[in-house]
Amino acid sequence: MEKNSAFQAAGYIQAVLRQNLPDFKPRAACILGSGLGRLADKLTDKVTIPYQDLAAFPISSVEGHAGELVAGRLAGVPVLCMKGRGHFYEGRGIGIMTAAIRTFKLLGCDFVFVTAAAGSLHKEIAPGSLVAISDHINLLPQSPLVGANDAAFGPRFFSMANAYNADLCSLLRQALVKNGVEPAQGVYVAWSGPNFETAAEIRMMQIIGGDIVGMSVVPEVIAARHCGLKVVAAAVITNYAEGLSDTALSHEQTLHCAAQAADKFVQVMTGFFAELAEPPAG
């Protein structure tokens, strides 16, 4: 079912692209988190496909997450942008993003650029920061790959070494520096939600080696690594995690803070793709 829906979505997207953007071959897919959808507005030669037309794609029930796939060029690089993603806490299974990720693989993408809002586990990572994700800790109850393996996409057992691709991550850090942003880097802890964490849970995450916490990223990264897509990921820090400050946590606050940082985020991502488009120096 999942496999079929990825093939079906890829076929449909290919047909739309052929008709509207001949010669367009996507190099990357961007998953745009809460409040970060405006990156898609920056694309040139844009074509928008609503998730309703793509059985593989998760129609979100969450405010701040539109349900559209936008194809176009960012700094000249052909990309597909997911405006809106599925989350484990929506209750439609931990594999909610798997078919969409596999669609990107079928369409010939080389990597996914995953973005998300996240809370900070350290005083030094202030709200408004942009953090390159260097690794993750999965505290969700499962992997999205639990169940029968679909060998058409990848092997039963697979490595998570270099899951967050070191070369792409260093390109991202360069883009941060070039845009005047301190290049923070950290380990993302995946929390199921929909409730935010307790202060005790946050203390545990600090002890086990986490730097930031959020309710997405990890299922799509695992699905991407299974099918051989590279990953680069960045988070916009919308708040200090529970127990680190007196500010009450809410989704409204997350959206508000993500929107404030969004312009910078869009600049950094555009810079990242501009670097990618450049032939390597020397």
Does residue 117 touch ligand HPA according to CB under 6 A?
yes
Q: 128-163: string of b/e by CB count within 10 Å (b at 16+)? A: bbbbbbbbbbbbbeebbbeeeebeebbeeeeeeeeb
Does residue 255 touch ligand HPA according to CB under 6 A?
no
Q: Which stretch binds ligand HPA (CB under 6 A): 76-84, 88-96, 115-123, 262-270?
A: 115-123
Question: What's the N-to-C CA distance of the chain in angstroms?
Answer: 48
The total number of residues written for the chain in this structure: 282
Residue 1 is a catalytic residue: no
Binder among 239, 261, 268, 273 for ligand HPA (CB under 6 A): 239
At residue 202, φ and ψ (nearest 5 deg) are -65, -40
With contact defined as beta carbons under 8 Å apart, do 28 and 111 qualify?
yes
Does residue 219 touch ligand HPA according to CB under 6 A?
no
Task: Please state, in angstroms and rounded to a whole number, the distance separating the CA atoms of residues 135 and 124.
Answer: 18
Q: Which residue is nearest to ligand HPA (CB)?
A: 119
* Closest CA relative to residue 100, chosen from 133, 144, 148, 158: 144
Of the residues 20, 89, 126, 192, which is catalytic?
A: 89
Query: Looking at beta carbons only, is 70 or 117 nearer to ligand HPA?
Result: 117
Of the residues 34, 60, 129, 179, which is catalytic?
A: 34
Binder among 106, 163, 215, 229 for ligand HPA (CB under 6 A): 215
Residue 281 is a catalytic residue: no
With contact defined as beta carbons under 8 Å apart, do 205 and 86 qualify?
no
CB of 244 to ligand HPA, least distance (A): 9
Q: Which residue numbers are catalytic?
A: 34, 65, 87, 89-90, 117, 215-216, 239, 251
Binding residues for ligand HPA, rule: CB under 6 A, are 117-119, 191, 196-197, 213-215, 238-239, 241, 249, 254
